[in-house]
C-alpha cells in the first residue's frame, strides 16, 4: 500500500496558490477565448519565437508526450500553419517553422495575451508591479527542475519613459557606426524620426516598445501611422548583448499584432540590403520585398529596400 503524505501547511499553501492563480489567469476557461487549448497555444508561441526547432526539442522543453505533440504538429501542418525542412545535422529530424499563415493565426493570440496581462497589472502601482515581477522571478529560480540551470534572465517589453528616445538614438548611432561604419547622417535621421514620433504621437494608432533584459534597456521598435490603412514599422534596434534570445522577432511580432488589432490593412518598412538579421526576421513573418533602389547615404553606397506585409 502506498504511503500517504500528510498535507503540511507548506503543501496547503502551494495548493492554495495554484487554485488562486489558475482561476485568476483564466486557465480553466477557453484559453484566450480561442479554439485552441493551452498546450496548442504554447506550441504556437514556441514555434513563433524559436529559430526552426525540432519536434524532439519542443517535446523535451515543454515536457510533452511525443505522440501528443506529433498530433498537434500534424494538425498545424494540415491547416497550412506549419512547414518542415530536413535537418542537415540529423536526417531523422525535421526543422519546424511557422508559415506566414501560422503567424497570422498566432498574432491575435499574442495580442490577447498581452491585453490580459496588462489587465492583471492595471490595478497595481509601479512599485507593486516591480514587486510582482521580482516575486515571479524568485518562483522560477526556486522551482527550476533539478539538474537544470535556473532561468535568471528577465525580459520585459514596456512603454517608453522620459529618456528612452535619447537612448534609442544613441544605440542606433553607436551600433551602426561600429558594425557598418555609418556616419553622423544616420544619427541625424534617427533623431529626426524619434523627434517627430514624440511631437506627433497618436496613441490610438501608434506604439513604441522598449525591451529590457534583467532591468537594462536592450532594444526598441515603433509602429507609426503612415495612413488610415498603412502602418509603418520603424527603428527596430537590438543591443549585441541581447541577440540570440529571439527578442528581435518578439518585438516584430508585437508590431504586427498591434497593427492587426488597430485595423490596418498593411504594414510597411524600409531597410537596407546589408541588414541580414533584420531582413530574415521580416521574411520569416511574411513580409515581401516590394522595392529595391541603390543610393548613397551615411557615407556608403547602399541599397534601400521597402518591405510590405498585407493583413
Asked whether residue 124 is domain-assigned, the answer is no
Q: Identify which of 278, 277, 298, 279 has the alpha carbon closest to the alpha carbon of residue 288.
A: 279
Asked whether residue 143 is domain-assigned, the answer is no
Asked whether residue 280 is domain-assigned, the answer is yes
Burial-class residue 82 by CB neighbours within 10 Å (0-12, 13-18, 19+).
buried
pTM: 0.65
The predicted structure's pLDDT at residue 235: 98
**Could you tell me the CA-to-CA distances from 214 to 107, 126, 156, 183 in Å, in that order?**
26, 17, 8, 31
Mean pLDDT of 58-69: 90
Domain boundary among 54, 88, 109: 109
Asked whether residue 38 is domain-assigned, the answer is yes
The helix/strand/coil state of 265 is: coil
Is there a single domain that holds both residue 180 and residue 262?
yes
The predicted structure's pLDDT at residue 37: 84
Asked whether residue 125 is domain-assigned, the answer is no
For 109-145, b/e burial (b = at least 16 CB within 10 A) is: bbbbbeeeeeeeeeeeeeeebeeeeeeebeeeeeeee
- DSSP secondary structure, 209-258, as one string: EEEEETTEEEEEEEEEE-SSSEEEEEEEEE-GGGTTSSHHHHHHHHHHHH
C-alpha cell at 19: 487554485
Distance CA 66, CA 55 (A): 8
The pairing of strands 230-238 and 266-272 is: parallel
Q: Where are the beta strands (DSSP E) in the chain?
A: 82-86, 94-98, 155-158, 207-213, 216-225, 230-238, 266-272, 288-297, 300-310
Distance CA 158, CA 133 (A): 13
Rg (CA), the chain: 22
154 compared with 213, residue with greater pLDDT? 213
Distance CA 185, CA 300 (A): 11
Mean pLDDT of 227-231: 97
Asked whether residue 295 is domain-assigned, the answer is yes
Mean pLDDT of 183-190: 97
Lowest mean pLDDT among 8-17, 78-87, 194-203: 8-17
Is there a single domain that holds both residue 190 and residue 297?
yes
Domain boundary among 93, 109, 125: 109
| Domains identified in the chain, total number | 2
Domain boundary among 109, 141, 176: 109
Confidence of residue 153 (pLDDT cuts 50, 70, 90): low
pLDDT for 150 beyond 50 = no
For the chain, the average pLDDT equals: 89
Distance CA 286, CA 101 (A): 8
Give the range of the structural domain holding residue 236, as residue numbers without chain letter: 155-310
The predicted structure's pLDDT at residue 2: 53
Confidence of residue 89 (pLDDT cuts 50, 70, 90): confident
List all residues 6 or more positions away from 169 whose beta carbon is below 8 Å from its beta carbon.
187, 190, 191, 194
Distance CA 45, CA 30 (A): 17
The domain spanning residue 73 has which CATH number? Answer: 1.10.10.10
pLDDT digits (tens, 9 = 90+) for 269-291: 999 999 999 999 999 999 999 99
Mean pLDDT of 79-90: 87
Q: Contact at 8 Å (CB) between 141 and 151? A: yes
The domain spanning residue 301 has which CATH number? Answer: 3.40.630.30
Amino acid at each position: 500500500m502506498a504511503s500517504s503524505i500528510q498535507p503540511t501547511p507548506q503543501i496547503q499553501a502551494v495548493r492554495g496558490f495554484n487554485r488562486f492563480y489558475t482561476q485568476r489567469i483564466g486557465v480553466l476557461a477557453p484559453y484566450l477565448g480561442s479554439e485552441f487549448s493551452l498546450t496548442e497555444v504554447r506550441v504556437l508561441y514556441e514555434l513563433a519565437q524559436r529559430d526552426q526547432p525540432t519536434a524532439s526539442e519542443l517535446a523535451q522543453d515543454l515536457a510533452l508526450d511525443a505522440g501528443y505533440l506529433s498530433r498537434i504538429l500534424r494538425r498545424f501542418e494540415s491547416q497550412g500553419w506549419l512547414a518542415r525542412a530536413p535537418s542537415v545535422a540529423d536526417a531523422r529530424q525535421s526543422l519546424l517553422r511557422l508559415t506566414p499563415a501560422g503567424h497570422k493565426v498566432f498574432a491575435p493570440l499574442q495580442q490577447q495575451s498581452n491585453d490580459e496581462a496588462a489587465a492583471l497589472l492595471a490595478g497595481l502601482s509601479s512599485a507593486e508591479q516591480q514587486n510582482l515581477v521580482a516575486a515571479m522571478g524568485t518562483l522560477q529560480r526556486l522551482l527550476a527542475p533539478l539538474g537544470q540551470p535556473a532561468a535568471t534572465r528577465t525580459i520585459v517589453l514596456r512603454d517608453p519613459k522620459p529618456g528612452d528616445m535619447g537612448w534609442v538614438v544613441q544605440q542606433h548611432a553607436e551600433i551602426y557606426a561600429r558594425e557598418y561604419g555609418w556616419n553622423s547622417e544616420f544619427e541625424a535621421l534617427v533623431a529626426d524620426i524619434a523627434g517627430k514620433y514624440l511631437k506627433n504621437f497618436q496613441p490610438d494608432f501608434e506604439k513604441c516598445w522598449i525591451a529590457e533584459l534583467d532591468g537594462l534597456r536592450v532594444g526598441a521598435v515603433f509602429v507609426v501611422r503612415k495612413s488610415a490603412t498603412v502602418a509603418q514599422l520603424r527603428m527596430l534596434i537590438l543591443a549585441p548583448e541581447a541577440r540570440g534570445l529571439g527578442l528581435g522577432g518578439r518585438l516584430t511580432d508585437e508590431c504586427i499584432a498591434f497593427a492587426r488589432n488597430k485595423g490596418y490593412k498593411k504594414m510597411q518598412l524600409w531597410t537596407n540590403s546589408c541588414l541580414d538579421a533584420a531582413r530574415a526576421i521580416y521574411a520569416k513573418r511574411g513580409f515581401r520585398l516590394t522595392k529595391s533602389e541603390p543610393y548613397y547615404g551615411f557615407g556608403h553606397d547602399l541599397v534601400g529596400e521597402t518591405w510590405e506585409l498585407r493583413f
